[in-house]
Amino acid sequence: MGGPLVNAHMGLFLDEVYRKYGRSEFLGTDPLPLVRAYTDPRDREVAGLLTALLSYGRVSAICSHARAVLETLGPSPRDALLRFDPKRDGPPLYPLRYRFHTGEDIASLFRILRDVLRSHGSVEALLHSTAGSIREKLSTMVRHLHSVHSAGGREFSYGLRFLLPSPDAGGACKRWNLYLRWMVRGDDGIDCGVWRGLSPADLVLPLDTHLLRIGRRLGFVTTRSASWEAAERFTAALREYDSEDPLRYDFALCRLGILDRCPSSGFGKRCRGCELLPFCSRATKGNRQKFR
């Protein structure tokens, strides 16, 4: 560790945030309990992928929708997908509409994942079929998923494209990176530690609106848009404080936004009673005025 980004006060702040909010007692504010409910790692891999791809919007709505989707697969999502028949099992999914995607899109996603499991054995195997960085692996995997769907002349709906974004488009791909965090980081009561072929050191932060705002306040990023470049820049900053596992801070930092602990305005009044203030005020010195 070490380098120009290192700030002793920032290190203390990040460690305190992790100590306070990086605990399993806060899992109720996250869709991860839906994934951890399965004990078989193969089911966690499948349930994790579906839950992560559906994770946009408010946490309560995400959990409600993802739970309904997973319930259609019964006690073993992997076994159910391997047996999935679009003609027989697709129509019952059609009422499961949520924001940008429809139940028909869910049925298409199930069919794509069925074909991946049959051809590669696991999602991890598909990801590792390509060498390179996380971005390169994800880009290649998404292209494969798209090709699986388009085989036979099938067209893409807006919703299915939304569910399967690619880093090639430049976006942060928060849901893909969230999935990788769940699978790759060890089972610490939060993440699942299902995969062994990737190192936590290589992961990219699942950058969403909460983390983007907090990252700007901490001075780790300056952009107002959640791009892949911004996610990598934020990750690089965190890597200065934990080179082997930079994303260990992710869950805790995200709670600051989800639980409304870190305000977007009104710092003087709202921050006064915050127990993190002694650490935060030093770590963010010179950054606050940007967000008043």
| Domain presence at residue 117 | yes
Banded model confidence at residue 268, pLDDT cuts 50, 70, 90: low
For 61, the token pair is: 């709505």
- Residues 37-68 have pLDDT tens digits of 999 999 999 999 999 999 999 999 999 999 99
CA-to-CA separations, 89 to 83, 106, 111, 200, in angstroms, rounded: 9, 11, 10, 37
| Predicted TM-score (pTM) of this structure | 0.93
Q: Is residue 236 part of a domain?
A: yes
Is residue 76 over pLDDT 90? yes
Q: Is residue 141 part of a domain?
A: yes
- Contact between 69 and 54 under an 8 Å Cβ cutoff? The reply is yes
Indicate whether 1 belongs to any domain.
Answer: no
Name the domain count of the chain: 1
- In a domain, residue 179? The reply is yes
Domain of 127 in residue numbering reads as 8-287
Query: Which residues have CB under 8 Å from 134's CB, separation 6+?
Result: 177, 180, 198, 202, 203, 204
Examine residue 292 and state whether it is found in any structural domain, yes or no.
no
- Residues 279-291 have a mean pLDDT of 66
Query: How high is the pLDDT of residue 172?
Result: 97
132-188 confidence digits (pLDDT tens): 999 999 999 999 999 999 997 899 999 999 999 999 999 999 999 999 999 999 999
Whether residue 3 is contained in a domain is answered as no
Q: How many CB atoms lie within 10 A of CB 263?
A: 16
> Rounded to 5, what percent of the chain is helix, strand, coil?
60, 0, 40
Residue 274: predicted pLDDT:
80
pLDDT tens-digit readout, 228-267? 999 999 999 999 999 999 999 999 999 998 988 887 766 6
The radius of gyration of the chain's CA atoms, rounded to the nearest angstrom, is 20
